[in-house]
Amino acid sequence: MVDKKNVFYVYVLRSKKNNYRYIGQTNNLKKRLEEHNSGLTKSIRFQTPFVLEHAEEYESRVEAMKREKFLKSGKGRDWLDKRGL
């Protein structure tokens, strides 16, 4: 997992504690995963630790945000479920 300059990531995390799935986007995937697992994300801090299940690269934040929005939708959740994510 090497973060590249000017690359944006959409990622799917899975809680080892309760199997909760979290979807987000960032330009620094390694740092963001560390933030999640250290409890810095208040809304999900009680669900740590997380493992990275899936990541996609995009050239712009706008593209990444569109994909994140899709994955959080009903069709997007179905897409993830069909792939076992």
Q: What is the pLDDT of residues 4-62, one digit of tens each?
A: 678 999 999 999 999 999 999 999 999 999 999 998 887 888 889 999 999 999 999 99
CATH (residue range 8-82): 3.40.1440.10
Q: At a CB cut-off of 8 Å and minimum separation 6, what does 29 contact?
A: 1, 3, 9, 11, 52, 55
Confidence at 2, pLDDT banded by 50, 70, 90:
low
CB distance 25 to 67 below 8 Å: yes
State the pLDDT at residue 39. Answer: 83
Confidence at 1, pLDDT banded by 50, 70, 90:
low
Tokens coding 58: 């995009």
